[in-house]
Amino acid sequence: MREIVVTTHSYDLGELPELGNRFLIGNGYMGVRGTLEEYDKEQLAAVNLAGIYDRCGDGWREPLNAPNPFSLRLYRREEDGSDRPLALPSAACDQHTQSLLVREGLHRRDTRFSCGVRWQVERLAHMEQVHLLALHAVATAKEAGQFCLKSTLDGDVWDIHGPHYREMSFPTASEHQHGVEAVTNEGDTVAVCCRWSLSTPHHSATAVAQRKQEAILDFELAAGQSASFTLIAAVYTSKDCKEPLQAARAAVLNAPEYDELLASHRACWAKLWERAHVQILGDDPAEEALNVSLYHLLSIAPRHASSLSVPARGLSGQTYKGAIFWDTEMFMLDFYLAVLPEVAKTLLRYRIDTLEGARAKAREYGLRGAFYAWESQEGGYDACSDYNVTDVFTGRPMRTYFRDKQVHITSAVVYGLWKYARWTGDDSLWREGGAEVLIEAARFYHSLLIKRVEKDDDELWNVIGPDEYHERVNNNAYTNEMARFVFEQTLEVCAQLKRDAPEAYKALAQKLSFEEELASFQQAAKRLKKPTIRPDGVMEQFDGYFALEDVTVDAVRARLKDPKEYWGGAYGVAAHTQVIKQADVITLLFMLRERYDAQTLRANYDYYLRRTEHGSSLSACMYALAACGIGRPEEAYPLFLKSARADLDGGGKQWAGLVYIGGTHPAAAGGAYLALLWGFLGLKIEGNQLKTEPRLPKKWRGVQCRLWYRGQAQTLSVQQP
């Protein structure tokens, strides 16, 4: 794999949120935003932790950002004895480069200040020893001078709805070590410990002072000389062990030196890229964009866990409350299935393990079965608020219906389990709780069914489909057909277990007493209202959609009075029009693609594409897949790039009303991989065998990638005809 380096020369404060996302490093346990070492919470610096959350007062419950061990500031001592900070953007700078080494998972900065000092820093989140962070910095002086380096374990963290630490203590520091122990409002503990060293040409001239969480190091350099600083940090929480501070201290004490950590980190990344790298012949920019997307998916994969999932914004911060959405099963899972199937199993075990939370949510609404959280945190707790958007004009929270009406989330869990069994050939998850999920999912949808006296169909009313601009609609095509899929899959898996694992089936039947319900599930699958399809093949997104105002996206955008205004809801500019937020019918036609022909796909692609605002990063990849499916790869190409470059280009929606929703876009990254695999390569599963029907863009000479299918490594190599 050739080296891919993402670079910028910018340190403009207005670009900091997107730069922090673009240059993220992570290892599945934590993500370190790509901010510079001199930055703090005002510049959105953060070490974001996976799977641990806290609520402050009445604010939204969100994931924790750990105290930041990478806070590092260099000073040059002036003649009057004052310390002049060499920090951007305030200090004059002749040259600055910030880099992400994609192949190696390394963040670098190289800054040449106008005073003649060069400041180089390299840092990593260790990909194998996931509790460890490491940093190596070099200061080089063009002219002789005295300097000061301040290494701070910064407990004043960035919080969106905090503060999340009610107590913070700094245990007595020992030589070249310091640490912090922080206790959250909910009683969890986060501990960070550091070990550091400074190497200069004149060791005797080095004076070291320590105070609480800060090491202050004074040193002197002659012209042309350099000083190097290394820092090893460990992060543990009470979710990991009973004594996180002791664990962090031990990890730091026993950690190898920086060079050894760097070597093992690189070796781990090399093994991952052997599995994940995609080569696109004839189009280096597309190859780079796709592999950067895959880098982000690898960086947030919970390889260290047995039951954990990937948040909608990865590990880039607290936006979207660090919650697990349908994004994981529907957009990211295919990558993990093909490259890291053991991680795919981890993601789905999370859903099995949060079944009780889904049952509790169903009971909350007077329903049966399992209603999975729209914004899932640990235990299946739904972090989604009934007032999830703030009105830009009044500043008041707006009633939204994501939590209670986006019932299609439960079908996403079932769909993910089905994909895993189909792709891997491993049916163990059905026996490890997956079949129980299916039965409770079927019960949930059955309890939602509406029967009108004068009609034979069963219906699903008052829902929100993937298109969130239209709330509380009846018979959303995607929702109905995915619910039908749940009924059918439940029947199929129960029959399979009864035939192939009778003891497991018997135990399940005794636990859930579901056998008498199977006939009603079968009837529901037959009677559930099918989408309305016009003679030209266009499927109505929901009942009454075709009667809404048919207007262009640009016309609706022109009606905005504020660029942060929310398009949906009761008074949104799109709510009473046919303009939709993201692919909805098109998503259905991909997810259940074996049920629809190319003519239906073509009619709906042509109809809905021009009515889609693409207000979600999940949208473009679905249209790319559709374009490939109807033989239009040239139309698919820019849509594919829109997904693959989501974190390279930035510029996506940063606000929903007054709520900040910025961060990385792992679902778009997964969507780009979907477009490659099922779109351009035309991958199909026929008789448990993989086949390809390539539809490559003209500029692509070929594609080569590796994947794991049913326990076997395979290489896909496709050439342009």
Q: Could you give the CA distance from residue 422 to residue 437 in angstroms, rounded to a whole number?
A: 17
- CA 292/CA 645 separation, integer angstroms: 8
**Residue with token string 């969890």:** 188
Task: Give CA angle at 157 (669, 237), nearest 5°.
Answer: 75
* DSSP string over 290-317: HHHHHHHHHHT--TT-SS----TTTTS-
Candidate list 436, 468, 565, 613, residue with the active-site label: 468
Which 8-state DSSP code applies to residue 657? B
Residues 6+ apart with CB under 8 A from 539: 477, 531, 532, 533, 585, 588, 589, 600, 604
Is 468 known to be catalytic? yes
- Residue 472 CA to residue 612 CA, distance in Å, equals 19
Give the 3-state secondary structure of residue 139.
Answer: strand
Six token digits for residue 593: 């693609």
Query: Do 183 and 175 touch, CB atoms closer than 8 A?
Result: no
In eight-state DSSP terms, residue 558 is: T
DSSP letters for 158-195 = --SS---EEEEE-PPP-TTEEEEEEEETTS-EEEEEEE
Distance CA 626, CA 243 (A): 52
- Classify each residue of 451-490 as buried b or exposed e, where b means 16 or more C-beta atoms within 10 Å of its C-beta: eeeeeeebbbeebbbbbbbbbebbbbbbbbbbbbbbbbbb
Q: What is the C-alpha separation between 287 and 2, in angstroms, rounded?
A: 10
DSSP assignment of 52-97, as one string? Answer: EEE--TTSPPEEEEEPEEEEEEEEEE-TTSPEEE--TTTS-EEEEE
154 secondary structure, DSSP code = E
Note whether 217 and 198 are within 8 A (CB). yes
CB atoms closer than 10 angstroms to residue 144: 11
d(CA 110, CA 208): 25
Long-range contacts of the stretch 448-452 (C-beta < 8 A, 24+) = 448/367, 448/407, 448/483, 449/524, 449/528
Residues 708 and 691: their CA atoms lie apart, in Å, by 14
For residue 340, the SS3 value is: coil
Please give the Cα distance from 587 to 606 (Å, whole number): 14
Q: Give the Cα separation of 81 and 560 in Å (integer).
A: 55
- Count the helices and strands in the chain (H runs, E runs): 22, 29
What the block records as the tokens of 109 is: 């900065």
- Nearest-angstrom CA–CA distance, 86 and 115: 9
Determine the Cα–Cα distance for residues 679 and 636; give it in Å rounded to an integer: 9
Residue 206 CA to its chain's centroid (Å): 44
- 353: number of CA atoms within 13 Å, CB side? 15
Q: Which active-site residues does the annotation give?
A: 468
